[in-house]
Amino acid sequence: GVYQYLPASIRSFPDQEELARLLREVGFEKVEYHNLSGGIVAIHVAVK
Residue-wise pLDDT for 1-48, tens only, equals 778 888 888 888 999 999 999 999 999 999 999 999 988 899 999 999
Q: pTM for this one? A: 0.77
User: Is residue 36 helix, strand or coil?
Assistant: strand
Single out the residue of 42, 47, 48 nearest to residue 19, CA to CA: 42
Amino acid at 43: I
Single out the residue of 37, 44, 38, 36 nearest to residue 13, CA to CA: 44
Q: How many domains does the chain have?
A: 1
Q: How far apart are CA 23 and CA 39, in angstroms?
A: 19
What's the pLDDT score for residue 45?
Answer: 98
User: Residue 38: which domain range?
Assistant: 2-47
- Taken in order 16, 20, 21, 22, the sign of the CA dihedral is positive
What's the pLDDT score for residue 4?
Answer: 83
